[in-house]
Amino acid sequence: MMAAAADLESSLELSLTGSGALPGGLPPARSRIFKIIVIGDSNVGKTCLTYRFCAGRFPQRTEATIGVDFRERAVTIDGERIKIQLWDTAGQERFRKSMVQHYYRNVHAVVFVYDMTNIASFHSLPSWIEECKQHLLANDIPRILVGNKCDLRSAIQVPTDLAQKFADTHSMPLFETSAKNPNDNDHVEAIFMTLAHKLKSHKPLMLSQPPDHDEIRIKPEPKPAMTCWC
Amino acid sequence: MARWSPPRNGGGGHDFDFKKKRKVEEIYQALNSDPIDVAALRRMAISEGGLLMDEIRCKVWPKLLSVNTDDLPPLPGKELREDNKDYQQVLLDVRRSLRRFPPGMPDDQREGLQEELIDIILHVLKRNPQLHYYQGYHDIVVTFLLVVGDRLATALVEKLSTHHLRDFMDPTMDNTKHILNYLMPIIDQVNPEVHDFMQSAEVGTIFALSWLITWFGHVLSDFRHVVRLYDFFLACHPLMPIYFAAVIVLHRQQEVLDCECDMASVHHLLSQIPQDLPYESLISKAGDLFVQFPPSKLAREAAQQQAERTAASTFKDFELASVQQRPDTVLRQRFGEQPRGEERTKSILTKPRTNRFVKLAVMGLTVALGAAALAVVKSALEWAPKFELQIFP
Ligand SMILES: Nc1nc2c(ncn2[C@@H]2O[C@H](COP(=O)(O)OP(=O)(O)OP(=O)(O)O)[C@@H](O)[C@H]2O)c(=O)[nH]1
Ligand SMILES: [Mg+2]
């Protein structure tokens, strides 16, 4: 058998290492760090989205994520250097239960991802949200909902209004995007940057919001009924 | 029984030096001996260079797993895909597994192999409803497919899945987590400083998850390294991959200690496995560690869980079963025919696990193969006393 010599160019990890240290950054210890966990079903594009944000392009190929992968990128917001750490998790259900918990600790924000061309991945969201609630101590950490693969127009299964309704029910902003679309260069970037801005405007240390108008919602809500979307 | 002879030009490499040539001869000798000298094959699979060539692997891997190559089950039909709960996930994972195939391979050939890969996985799952697919299983199966072809791969993978990989294929990953819990105690035994550093970084052990459950197939890009490790793991105790994981961490101890002491930095560092690891010396170190700190010693430190269902414990049954199900049942038949011979054997086996055997092993093997081989000898003695006679003929 011929050796499958690593095609280094397409190796996710190597190119990420390169992009990890952006030039001109302050020593890492100085920057504030925002930890964001990215969750959702297998194949919705979590790896592609995080890669796109951290490396600036759609990866040529991805592989199934086993366990948890880590990517980071340094950004500047209002003159402050901030490190955004993305924890890209495995989508297969068996990994969530016992493996991923560890990574929910101390996260500052959660990104839920579904695949706009796969209604099942949308239907899984309530269980992801539920799971997230169980692992997170704070109830008020910022969460956003991302519908991915909007470039596959003819294959869309999750209509925007449906997704919007769901997002509203859970008080999350909704973004429909594509990790792939080359014409839409800044969109994925904008999503994560929006989140980073939101985090920055939180209290610097804990990054947790004092209870505000959302207070009523902090009580555990009844599970959203699946039927309302079907 | 068919006699195999070594390939003429040893796989065509010009660097096929004298040492390798001799090893090839020894391997064929073990294969041709009657009964087949499985213990010697295990030693060859562990010692420097492993089994050297895929041609040899095709013959030896089945022996290490005690799979009878004369009686392979028929390949499945397409109906497998119809109502299989794992089909979708398998499909998604196999489609994305392009990196596992040799870079120069034409697309249509690769696509054919990907179809075979799906079939093998579904076939094994269907025949063993107690097994559950996990992302990463496909990385293991593809290695077998590429080395031995679909028919034999199906048989080997099935055996492996019900033994070495059994824990990973539970409905939940609790047992897998339990096995990962061995990692830190091993590191602690060798370098407490690294251990403490990692503990205070709270890095956890998930960085090693894909190493463990894919036998490093997911993270190493050079296929030669992958198969070399598979030689090693197939010849050893099912917990050996976790010792190897520990050895990799320890090999990078300075980098670890120089790292920022937080979860992200350490996880990031460790999960990027260097591609130029000194595999042979790491294998030998893993063997050493296994002998020095066998799982039984570490068990208390790894979270207390009943060990009954772990692959580690089924290994014993497996080894014993191997003896009984050996394709070449010659040995047993001979025992059956010659009760006196059997009695004589028994007396050797029951009473004196004489030092002579062990000493021979220590002296002979450490000199010839490095201490890694000790692990296997020790394993063989511990788990399959019936092998004793074959190990030291
Ligand atoms: N057309 C299109 N394809 C995409 C997009 N994002 C991801 N993909 C494809 O979707 C597949 C899955 O992407 P991944 O990023 O590996 O999915 P994942 O969510 O990380 O999956 P797991 O690691 O299994 O949990 C890949 O084949 C990608 O090429 C997108 O925006 N548009
Ligand atoms: Mg992924």
Over the stretch A62-107, which tens digit does the pLDDT of each residue have? 999 999 999 999 999 999 999 999 999 999 999 987 777 788 888 9
What was the pLDDT predicted at A159?
97
Record: contact A97-B173, CB cut-off 8 A: yes
Say whether pLDDT at A114 is over 50.
Answer: yes
Give the C-alpha distances (Å, rounded to integers) separating B360 from B354, B356, B374: 10, 6, 11
| Per-residue pLDDT at B13 | 53
Nearest CA to ligand 1 atom 14: A45
Instruction: Estimate to the nearest angstrom the gap between the alpha carbon of A202 and the chain centroid.
Output: 19
Whether residue A61 and residue B275 make contact (CB cut-off 8 A), yes or no, is no
**Pair of tokens at residue A13:** 């990890």
What is the C-alpha to C-alpha distance for residues A22 and B20, in angstroms, rounded to an integer? Answer: 47
Question: Would you call B136 an interface residue with chain A, using a CB distance cutoff of 8 Å?
Answer: yes
- Tell me how many residue pairs between chain A and chain B have CB atoms under 8 A apart: 110
Q: Residue A184: its pLDDT value, please?
A: 63
Q: Give A25's DSSP letter.
A: P
Within 10 angstroms of residue A8's Cβ, the number of other Cβ atoms is: 11
Tell me the per-residue pLDDT of B9-66, one tens digit each, with 9 for 90 and over: 545 555 568 889 999 999 999 999 989 999 999 999 999 999 999 999 999 999 999 9
Q: Which among A65, A70, A98 has the least Cβ separation from residue B177?
A: A98
Cβ of A4 and B260 within 8 Å? no
B93, B94, B99, B199: best to mutate for the A interface, most A CBs within 10 A = B99
User: Which residue of chain A comes nearest to B202, CA vs CA?
Assistant: A102
Question: What pLDDT does residue B311 have?
Answer: 52
User: Is residue A137 very low, low, confident or very high in pLDDT (cuts 50, 70, 90)?
Assistant: low
B330 pLDDT more than 60: no
pLDDT tens column, B149-179: 999 999 999 999 999 999 999 999 989 998 9
Token pair in block for residue B146: 């590429």
Per-residue confidence band for A150, with pLDDT thresholds at 50, 70 and 90? very high
Judged by CB atoms closer than 8 Å, whether chains meet at A1 and B104 is answered as no
Q: Given ligand 1 and candidates A47, A70, A113, which is best to mutate, with the most ligand atoms within 8 Å of its CB?
A: A47
Give the distance (Å) from ligand 1 centre to CA of residue A45: 3
Distance B199 CA to ligand 2 centre (A): 27
Between the CA of residue B370 and those of B288, B366, B376, what are the distances in Å? 9, 4, 12
- Among A11, A13, A67, select the one facing B209 at the smallest CB separation: A67
- A113 versus B292: which is more confidently predicted? A113
pLDDT of residue B373: 40
Average pLDDT over residues A210-214: 35
Q: With a cut of 50, say whether residue B326 has pLDDT above it.
A: no
Give every CB contact of residue B349 below 8 A, 6+ residues apart in sequence.
B385, B386, B388, B389
Residue B192, Cβ density class (10 Å: 0-12 exposed, 13-18 middle, ≥19 buried): exposed
pLDDT at B17: 81
User: Which residue has the least CA distance to atom 30 on ligand 1?
Assistant: A149
Please choose, from the candidates A45, A6, A86, A83, the residue with its C-alpha nearest in 3D space to the C-alpha of residue A181: A45
Query: CA A165, A169, A172, A173: dihedral to nearest 10 degrees?
Result: 20
Cα of B302 to nearest chain A Cα, Å: 16
- Residue with the bigger pLDDT between A68 and B298: it is A68
Q: What's the confidence (pLDDT) of residue B212?
A: 97
Q: Which of A30-34, A167-171, B351-355 has the highest mean pLDDT?
A: A167-171
Looking at residues B202-231, what average pLDDT do you find? 96
B:339-378 residues touching chain A, CB 8 A cutoff: none
Tell me, what's the pLDDT at B75?
72
B207 and B169 Cβ atoms separated by less than 8 Å: no
Residue A137 CA, chain-centre distance (Å), reads 19
Does the CB atom of residue A68 touch ligand 1 within 6 A?
Answer: no
Rounded mean pLDDT of A149-166?
96
In B94-113, the residues whose Cβ lies within 8 Å of chain A are 96-104
- Nearest Cα of chain B lies from the Cα of A70 at a distance, in angstroms, of 6
Lowest average pLDDT, out of A175-179, B122-126, B135-139, B289-293, goes to: B289-293
Ligand 1 neighbour A152 (Cβ under 6 A): yes
Provide the strand spans (E) within B52-169: none
Range with the lowest mean pLDDT among B254-258, B274-278, B309-313? B309-313
What ligand 1 atom has the least distance to the C-alpha of A66? 23
Buried/exposed code over A15-54 (b: 16+ C-beta within 10 A; e: otherwise) = bbeebbeeeeeeebeebbbbbbbbbbbbbbbbbbbbbbbb
ipTM above 0.90, yes or no: no
Looking at residue B302, the DSSP 8-state letter turns out to be S
> In this predicted structure, what is the pLDDT of residue B192?
96
Separation CA B180–CA B209 (nearest Å): 7
pLDDT at A30: 63
The string of pLDDT tens digits covering residues B253-273 is: 999 999 999 999 999 999 999
**Average pLDDT score over residue span B140-152:** 97
Mean pLDDT, chain B, whole residue set: 78
**Which residue has the CA at smallest separation from atom 8 of ligand 1?**
A45
Which stretch of B51-55, B324-328, B367-371 has the lowest confidence by average pLDDT?
B324-328
As a residue count, chain B comes to: 393
Residue whose tokens read 């990953």: B173
Q: Which of A39, A41, A48 to mutate to test the pocket of ligand 1 (most atoms within 8 A of CB)?
A: A48
Instruction: Please state, for a pLDDT cut of 70, what percent of chain A lies above it.
Output: 73
pTM of the model: 0.79
Q: Do B173 and A85 touch (CB under 8 A)?
A: no
Instruction: Give the tens place of pLDDT for each residue, A184-204.
Output: 667 899 999 999 999 988 754
Strand partners, A110: A37, A143
Q: Pick the atom of ligand 1 nearest to A91's CA.
A: 25
pLDDT at site A185: 62
The alpha carbon dihedral of B117, B119, B120, B124 has a sign of positive
Asked if A99's CB is within 8 angstroms of B206's CB, the reply is yes
pLDDT for position A117:
98
pLDDT at A10 over 70: no
Atom number, ligand 1, closest to the C-alpha of residue A44: 19
Cβ distance B392 to B361 under 8 Å? yes
Question: Which pLDDT score, from 0 to 100, does residue B9 have?
Answer: 52
- Give the C-alpha separation, B371 to B290, whole Å: 10
